């Protein structure tokens, strides 16, 4: 029998955690034949709630679930971790300045990056979900000097999936006909969902839809502001869809993108497409066996260039702020 993969989930007692853990344990993270052992990291006051979730996980008798450990200790949580999903973060509260938000999250992601550096397995792969996801990933990566920076990624797959769904709806086709979509930049309202390189049934999506007014006035803002629309409708932020996207992100990372297609991941830039090296920005990537490569040579028209530059400028200013705060 295969050795279980150690999967660490932070913020395990939260909303996303509650949607995520049951699907990890039933094989949706790594595949239907990969046993997993879960490490749940929570802050001390939330340990009891995490224990309740663990009781329910036991009660599902999932064949792939080989163990659950619940802890508020970083070393225990990341010891031997092969995959880490960093979900727990400090949300923005009313009246909070961006510096306050980044500083509060630095207090979480700096020590977590350090603990991953010191205790995780050599093959560790990290997905940051907690917001501001790109900059939290930047902080964690820069505090783990012995881990290759390529192992730290931020989630833009939810934005990607939202964009796929909107394009499919507009074109009146199933989501399976949409491919080659890209989210560029930050997981924030400045993100740029790129329809010019996307395809519907193999044909240029922008040409098939051919409606710049819809693209600018409807599609981009709907995707970029979807999180706020969910809060408005549900009274709570996206949880099941965020968990589903996190599973997609890791599953695609290990099991590969389809031939000819790609996905969107927030990754440490190597300077491609004019995104300054070192920033954690979303790119089109192909994946295979836990590695990824940025898709090169895509056409970036003037409209796309302006949008990408604006989102990247926001990332650069977040980075400048965390440098100023001494977090990286």
3-state helix, strand and coil shares in percent for the chain, rounded to the nearest 5: 45, 20, 35
Choose between 89 and 147: whose C-beta lies nearer to ligand NAX. Answer: 89
**According to CB under 6 A, which residues from 119 to 148 bind ligand NAX?**
129-131, 133
Least distance CB 2 / ligand NAX (angstroms): 28
Residue 155 near residue 127, CB atoms below 8 Å: yes
Which residue in the set 7, 13, 224, 327 belongs to the binding site for ligand NAX (CB under 6 A)? Answer: 13
Q: Per-residue contact track with ligand NAX, 187 to 206, x per CB under 6 A?
A: x-------------------
Residue 294 near residue 277, CB atoms below 8 Å: no
Exposed/middle/buried for residue 181 (C-beta within 10 Å: 0-12, 13-18, 19+): buried
CA dist 206 → 35, 78, 261 (Å): 42, 44, 17
Nearest to 92 by CA among 21, 188, 19, 171: 188
Residue 161 near residue 263, CB atoms below 8 Å: no
Nearest to 149 by CA among 138, 160, 141: 141
| Residue 187 appears among annotated catalytic residues | yes
Exposed/middle/buried for residue 130 (C-beta within 10 Å: 0-12, 13-18, 19+): buried
Catalytic residue from among 28, 160, 187, 249: 187
Nearest to 247 by CA among 127, 162, 149, 80: 127
52 is in an annotated binding site: no
Q: Per-residue contact track with ligand NAX, 68 to 97, x per CB under 6 A?
A: -------------------xxx-x------
113 is in an annotated binding site: no
Would you count residue 237 as binding ligand NAX (CB under 6 A)?
A: yes
Choose between 41 and 285: whose C-beta lies nearer to ligand NAX. Answer: 41
DSSP, collapsed to helix, strand or coil, labels residue 134 as helix
Would you count residue 9 as binding ligand NAX (CB under 6 A)?
A: no
Choose between 38 and 242: whose C-beta lies nearer to ligand NAX. Answer: 242
Would you count residue 287 as binding ligand NAX (CB under 6 A)?
A: no
In this structure, what token pair is assigned to residue 207? 């040409």
Place of tokens 């968990």: 243
Which residue in the set 42, 194, 314, 318 belongs to the binding site for ligand NAX (CB under 6 A)? Answer: 42
Q: Per-residue contact track with ligand NAX, 145 to 164, x per CB under 6 A?
A: ----------x--x------
Residue numbers annotated as active site: 187
Residues contributing to the site for ligand NAX (CB under 6 A): 10-11, 13-17, 41-43, 46, 87-89, 91, 108, 129-131, 133, 155, 158, 187, 227, 237-239, 242
Annotated binding-site members for substrate: 92, 98, 131, 162
| Binding residue ranges | 11-17, 92, 98, 105, 112, 129-131, 162
């Amino acid at each position: 029998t295969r050795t279980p993969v150690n999967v660490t989930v932070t913020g395990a007692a939260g909303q996303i955690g509650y949607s995520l853990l049951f699907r990890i344990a039933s094989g949706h993270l790594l595949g239907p034949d990969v046993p997993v052992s879960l490490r749940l990291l929570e802050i001390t006051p939330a340990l009891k709630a995490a224990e309740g979730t663990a009781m329910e996980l036991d009660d599902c008798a999932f064949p792939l679930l080989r163990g659950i450990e619940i802890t508020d200790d970083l070393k225990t949580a990341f010891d031997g971790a092969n995959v880490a999903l960093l979900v727990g973060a400090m949300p923005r509260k009313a009246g909070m300045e961006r510096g306050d938000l980044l500083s509060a999250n630095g207090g979480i992601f700096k020590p977590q990056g350090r603990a991953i550096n010191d205790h995780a397995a050599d093959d560790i792969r990290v997905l940051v979900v907690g917001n501001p996801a790109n900059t939290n990933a930047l902080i964690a990566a820069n505090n783990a000097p012995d881990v290759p920076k390529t192992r730290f990624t931020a989630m833009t797959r939810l934005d990607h999936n939202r964009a796929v769904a909107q394009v499919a709806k507009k074109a009146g086709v199933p989501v399976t006909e949409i491919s080659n979509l890209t989210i560029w930049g930050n997981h924030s309202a400045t993100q740029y969902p790129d329809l010019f390189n996307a395809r519907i049934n193999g044909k240029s999506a922008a040409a098939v839809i051919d409606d710049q007014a819809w693209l600018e006035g409807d599609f981009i803002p709907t995707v970029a502001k979807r999180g706020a629309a969910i809060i408005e409708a549900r009274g709570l932020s996206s949880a099941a869809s965020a968990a589903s996207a996190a599973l997609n992100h890791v599953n695609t990372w290990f099991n590969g993108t389809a031939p000819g297609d790609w996905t969107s991941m927030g990754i440490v830039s190597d300077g491609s497409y004019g995104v300054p090296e070192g920033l954690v920005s979303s790119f089109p990537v192909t994946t295979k066996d836990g590695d990824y490569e940025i898709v090169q040579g895509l056409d970036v028209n003037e409209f796309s260039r302006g949008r990408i530059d604006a989102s990247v400028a926001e990332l650069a200013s977040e980075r400048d702020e965390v440098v100023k705060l001494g977090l990286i």
